[in-house]
């Protein structure tokens, strides 16, 4: 829901700016500009991308709302507890598979650990999954970044069409008032293109980019912890290594070794 506030704020500020100009908001609606910019962008998307990407475009707002920041602290706590279970670790890991709060990647790592494969295979598989997951996330980013270049271009097309129509009215003897109105309408297409690209497409691309970066760092944290557990590393070393991924205020102390400051 936090992301929606940005779009609501954009609409509010634009509407406030238009109101301060003392011009009716109805003046800023033009059917030709709407068809050229949004219809042209949709046509370019159909030409450029397969049908699956078209579906992604319309489901992107829902996907953006579903994107949650990874729970780093809980994952670190889980990995430290696993590392501290040196005697009954496999039993603990099997129980962990039923925990609905743990990340899917961590659950996959636990499953691979229980398969008793070699360390090299264990690391290679999880590393490949991090890479492929990032690649899938980047598809969302690239989709919207590439789409963001079309609306301004089609806005310019709409403006040129409006100017052509304006020149014809001038040739037919239009007065200054008619010329001014037609000129303003011609520029509305450019407004639509810039607004759609910079208020919608580009911010969505940046949102997916930030989410992809957070997921990559998060999964690298999980891989680091899983490898240390695979090597039967000391639980204190696991805790402090994973704390390196957290800010000082977020760092956990499951083992109770940190010295607390006196009041």
Q: Is residue 140 part of a domain?
A: yes
For 56, the token pair is 């992604």
Helix (H, G, I), strand (E, B) or coil at 261: coil
Domain range for 161 is 24-248
Tokens of 155: 């806005």
Would 258 be classed as within a structural domain? Answer: no
Q: Are residues 82 and 93 in contact, defined by beta-carbon separation less than 8 angstroms?
A: yes
Report if residue 12 sits inside a domain. Answer: no
Question: Chain centroid to CA 128: how far?
Answer: 21
| pLDDT band at 246; cut points 50, 70, 90 | confident
- At residue 72, the pLDDT reads 86
Question: Measured in whole angstroms, how far is the alpha carbon of residue 216 from the centre of its chain?
Answer: 13
**How much is the pLDDT for 174?**
66
**CB atoms inside a 10 Å sphere around CB 150:** 21
Q: What is the pTM of this model?
A: 0.80
Mean pLDDT score, 38-53: 88
> Number of folded domains in the chain?
1
- What burial class does residue 185 get, using C-beta atoms within 10 Å of its C-beta: 0-12 exposed, 13-18 middle, 19+ buried? buried
Backbone angles phi, psi at 233, to 5 degrees: -70, 160
Residue 7 domain flag = no
Residue 259 within a domain: no
Residue 9 located in a structural domain:
no
Per the domain annotation, does 108 fall within a domain? yes
Residue 241 lies in a domain: yes
Region 76-96: mean pLDDT is: 87
> What is the tens place of the pLDDT at every residue in 234-243?
888 989 999 8
Compute the average pLDDT of residues 82-108.
87
């Amino acid at each position: 829901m936090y992301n929606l506030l940005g779009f609501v704020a954009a609409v509010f500020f634009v509407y406030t700016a238009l109101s301060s100009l003392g011009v009716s908001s109805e003046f800023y609606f033009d059917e030709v500009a709407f068809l050229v910019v949004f219809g042209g962008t949709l046509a370019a998307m159909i030409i450029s991308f397969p049908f699956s990407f078209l579906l992604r475009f319309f489901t992107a707002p829902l996907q953006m709302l579903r994107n949650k920041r990874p729970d780093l602290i809980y994952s670190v706590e889980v990995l430290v507890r696993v590392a501290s279970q040196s005697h009954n670790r496999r039993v603990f890991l099997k129980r962990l598979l039923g925990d609905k709060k743990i990340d899917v990647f961590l659950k996959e790592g636990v499953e691979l650990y229980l398969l008793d494969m070699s360390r090299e295979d264990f690391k290679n598989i999880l590393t490949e999954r991090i890479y492929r997951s990032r690649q899938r996330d980047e598809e969302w980013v690239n989709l919207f970044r590439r789409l963001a270049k079309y609306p301004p271009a089609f806005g310019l097309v709409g403006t040129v069409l409006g100017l052509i129509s304006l020149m014809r009215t001038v040739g037919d003897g239009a007065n200054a008032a008619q010329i001014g109105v037609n000129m303003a309408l011609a520029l509305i297409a450019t407004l639509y293109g810039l607004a759609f690209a910079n208020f919608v497409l580009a911010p969505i691309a940046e949102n997916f980019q930030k989410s992809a970066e957070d997921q990559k760092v998060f999964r690298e944290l999980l891989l680091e912890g899983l490898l240390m557990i695979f090597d039967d590393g000391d639980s204190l070393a696991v805790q402090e290594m994973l704390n390196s991924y957290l800010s000082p205020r977020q760092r956990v102390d499951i083992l109770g070794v940190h010295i607390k400051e006196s009041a």
